[in-house]
């Protein structure tokens, strides 16, 4: 009898990637993995832990780009997915009101305490931003959008038009017309941008994911006021910050701001089935979907599929049952406190930013004697990468270096970690910084360590 044999596929393809394997996908991305030490094979995942093919256990503080709030293979998520498959439900009828979509919308609105809103489901974070852009244009009749510098809202064409990094936009122009970048935190420039009333919406991340950059206290409230005065809709992109990551169900609320629309995704997926949502004020949605004909002007085939809806429902249940939002706040404080000494941040650290389990540690390259002549503006990024590599190799902890021109180590572990894992992360980072801080020699060794992993890649990239 035929049948699906997962194990035989894993047996055939699950070894160390060959050149042929890599050629199917993106060979240059594999080069990046070699440089960063992540060209290894993980074969199992449980909670915050990843097991590699030698049986070594790693603590994952990259967290699937911050989507793994409930950890990998959570039993409740598995149970929910097994149940929905066993039930043989008729998904994707399309011309119906799917009961599971109603259930998730209802539960989600109560979870984020916006019970008067409507919900539009999507398949990913960037799709939530695309949907919000269309909703805001149609609702206001205005063409433009504004966003902060250094913003990240996804990489599809609309979301990319709100991106604050030139290197990501390069090669993809023309982008959506009418998008304006405002220097981060510059209220005067924001007011000037919004005053001509051509901007449909201002998009912001409550904490910027790239480099973990926070707004000055009170600033977002002023942003909201400027939007109100100029008739501009305020859209919180909480794809990364929302649903517990920062120690609140919505990070905007920690700043006392209630946006018109909120984009959500990552956490809702349990890192398992892609799902996202735009949640927002009823009258805004009703200006878009304002007739029978226009009830389908924005949609997509898979957006309310049963697997996604059930995953969202099970995730919210786990977040509540395990009190993960509060734990995120608590454990974030614990990690941050672990990086402090009596006289301030530990040696090698310039600043620790973020809230809950969204933490950015800005390193101090000077303190690490790691200011390499010849590397110019790229030195800080190399420092962070060298630190990340040491964390991986010596301590078996995955962290990401983020922000192109500064040394920031980003820590976004699953919210299911415990006190001991929080301490492990802080202690390992301190140890790594102390080691690299012992002088230029140690620092340069760290760098050589990294570059020697893939000399062919280094050569090719240098002389490109």
Catalog residues that contact ligand PLP under the rule CB under 6 A.
Answer: 65, 124-126, 129, 152-154, 205, 209, 237, 239-240, 265
Q: How far is CA 83 from CA 73, 314, 419, 440, in A?
A: 15, 11, 32, 57
CA 338 to CA 442: how far, in whole Å?
Answer: 23
To which H or E segment does residue 44 belong? strand 42-46
Min separation Cβ 278 and ligand PLP, Å: 12
Min separation Cβ 125 and ligand PLP, Å: 2
User: Which residues are 43's β-sheet partners?
Assistant: none
Q: Which is nearer to ligand PLP, 125 or 365 (CB)?
A: 125
Residue with tokens 């390992």: 428
Min separation Cβ 153 and ligand PLP, Å: 5
Q: Which is nearer to ligand PLP, 309 or 349 (CB)?
A: 309
Q: What is the CA radius of gyration of the chain?
A: 23
CA 26 to CA 72: how far, in whole Å?
Answer: 25
Nearest residue to ligand PLP, by Cβ distance, number only: 125
Q: Which is nearer to ligand PLP, 65 or 375 (CB)?
A: 65
Q: Which is nearer to ligand PLP, 209 or 437 (CB)?
A: 209
Q: Which is nearer to ligand PLP, 49 or 152 (CB)?
A: 152
Q: Which is nearer to ligand PLP, 66 or 392 (CB)?
A: 66
Q: How far is CA 226 from CA 152, 193, 198, 302, 322, in A?
A: 22, 10, 14, 37, 39
- Give the tokens for residue 399: 């962290």
Min separation Cβ 263 and ligand PLP, Å: 7
Q: How far is CA 443 from CA 155, 186, 238, 406, 432, in A?
A: 34, 37, 37, 17, 10
What three-state secondary structure class fits 270?
A: coil
Min separation Cβ 269 and ligand PLP, Å: 8
Min separation Cβ 80 and ligand PLP, Å: 21
């Amino acid at each position: 009898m035929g049948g699906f044999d997962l194990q035989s596929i894993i047996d055939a393809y699950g070894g160390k990637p060959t050149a042929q394997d890599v050629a199917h996908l993106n060979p240059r991305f594999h080069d990046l993995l070699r440089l960063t030490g992540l060209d290894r094979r993980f074969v199992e995942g449980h909670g915050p832990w990843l097991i590699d093919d030698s049986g070594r256990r790693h603590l994952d503080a990259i967290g699937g780009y911050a989507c793994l709030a409930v950890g990998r293979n959570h039993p409740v998520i598995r149970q929910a997915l097994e149940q929905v498959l066993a039930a043989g439900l008729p998904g994707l009828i399309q011309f119906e009101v799917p009961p599971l979509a109603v259930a998730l919308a209802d539960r989600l609105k109560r979870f984020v305490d916006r019970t008067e809103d409507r919900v539009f489901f999507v398949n990913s974070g960037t799709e939530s931003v695309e949907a919000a852009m269309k909703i805001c244009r149609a609702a206001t009749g205005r063409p433009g959008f504004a966003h902060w510098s250094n913003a990240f809202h996804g990489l599809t064409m609309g979301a990319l038009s709100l991106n604050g990094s030139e290197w990501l936009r390069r090669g993809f122009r023309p982008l959506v017309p009418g998008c304006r970048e405002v220097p981060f935190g510059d209220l005067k420039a924001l007011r000037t941008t919004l005053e001509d009333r051509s901007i449909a919406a201002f998009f912001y991340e409550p904490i910027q994911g790239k480099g973990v950059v926070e707004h000055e206290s009170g600033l977002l409230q002023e942003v909201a006021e400027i939007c109100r005065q100029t008739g501009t809709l305020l859209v919180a992109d909480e794809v990364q910050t929302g649903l517990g990551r920062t120690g609140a169900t919505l990070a905007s609320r920690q700043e006392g701001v209630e946006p018109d629309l909120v984009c959500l995704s990552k956490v809702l997926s349990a890192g398992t089935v892609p799902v996202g949502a735009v949640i927002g004020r009823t009258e805004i949605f009703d200006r878009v979907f304002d007739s029978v004909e226009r009830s389908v002007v924005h949609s997509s085939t898979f957006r309310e599929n049963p697997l996604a809806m059930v995953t969202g429902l099970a995730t919210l249940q786990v977040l509540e049952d395990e009190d993960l939002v509060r734990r995120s706040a608590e454990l974030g404080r614990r990690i941050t406190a672990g990086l402090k000494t009596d006289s301030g941040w530990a040696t090698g650290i310039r600043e620790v930013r973020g809230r809950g389990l969204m933490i950015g540690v800005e390193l101090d390259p000077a303190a690490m004697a790691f200011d390499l002549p010849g590397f110019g503006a790229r030195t800080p990024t190399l420092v962070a990468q060298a630190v990340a590599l040491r964390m991986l190799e010596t301590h078996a902890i995955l962290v990401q270096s983020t922000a192109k021109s500064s040394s920031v180590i980003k820590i976004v572990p699953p919210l299911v970690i415990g006190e001991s894992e929080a301490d492990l992360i802080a202690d390992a980072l301190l140890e790594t910084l102390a080691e690299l801080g012992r002088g230029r020699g140690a620092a340069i060794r760290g760098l050589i360590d990294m570059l020697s992993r893939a000399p062919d890649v280094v050569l090719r990239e240098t002389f490109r």
